[in-house]
Amino acid sequence: MTTLRVALIQQDTRWQEPAANLARARGFVEEAARAGARVAVFPELFTLGFTMAPEPFAEPIPGPTVEAVASLSREFGLYLVGSMVEAHAPRPRNAAFVTAPDGALVAVYRKIHPFSYGEENRHYSGGTECPVFNIDGIPCGLQICYDLRFPEPFRALAAQGAEVVFIPANWPARRITAWSTLLAARAIENQMAICGVNRVGRDALGLDYPGASALHDCFGEVIARGPATEGLVAGDINLVALRAWRARFPALKDRRAEVYSAIERKDGTPMQTDQSW
C-alpha cells in the first residue's frame, strides 16, 4: 500500500450520553466511508466527554462500546479508532481501541499518562504498554491526548517500526498552540505520520474545544487540518515518501542509548533503554 487515507472525526460530544453519541457515530462513519477513508478516528472518550466520574460507564474490552464500533466497521468496511472507559481495578482505565472492517478487535491501548493537572490520575489508572498493530500491513500505534507531551512512548513506537500513530484527544482551546506544535514535533523527531483528532464544542466543565485536528507527514508538514466546527478532516498519508525519508536520513539510528542511560542514572544504576536502533 502506497497511501493511507485517514478521516479524523471532529465530534461535539454530548456530555455523558453514550447512547446518543453512539447513535450519532454512524453518520460520521458513513461520511468517512463516502470520503474514501480506510481509517476513521473518534476523539478521546467520544461516547462520554472527558469525564472525571468514569465508574458508572466502565465496561470490559470487548464489551458494548467495542461491539457497537465493530458493527460500524463491518457495515462500512473501514478501520475505526474509538476511545472508552475500561473497567479495571483499582481505578478504570482510559483506553483506545481499533476495530477492523470484518469487525475484529485489532488493538487496545491504555493511556499511559493520566492528566494529573486535571486530576485524571485520581480517577483513572495508567497503562504500561505501547502496542504496535497493522492496518493493511502498515505498522501503527496509539496514544491518547496528554500522552502527546511525552516523547518517550512515541520513540518506543518508532523503535518497534510504527509508521503511523493515531491520537484521540480532548485538548482545550487555551492550550491549542501546544497541541499543534507537539503534533508536528512528534512527527519530525520520529519520522512518522501523526494523526491527532480533537473534539469541538464545550463540555459540562466549561472547557471549550477548538478542533484543530490534524494529519502531519513524516516531515511535520500539515496534510490536513480542521476548523473549529464539527465534521471530518481527511487526508492521504504518503507511505512511499515516509519510508524513503527514513532510509535516506536514518536519524533514529544515531541515537546513543548508552549515553542517555548514563545521564538518567538513578542510584548508580543505569536505566534500561531500548537499543534496537
- Choosing from 86, 120, 130, 145, the catalytic residue is 145
- Choosing from 111, 130, 163, 218, the catalytic residue is 111
Annotated active-site residue 218? The verdict is no
User: Do 39 and 69 meet the contact criterion of CB atoms below 8 Å apart?
Assistant: no
Count CB atoms within 10 A of the CB of residue 203. Answer: 20
Annotated active-site residue 140? The verdict is no
Give the span between the Cα atoms of 275 and 173, in whole angstroms: 38
Annotated active-site residue 195? The verdict is no
**Would you please indicate which residues are annotated as catalytic (active-site) residues?**
44, 111, 145
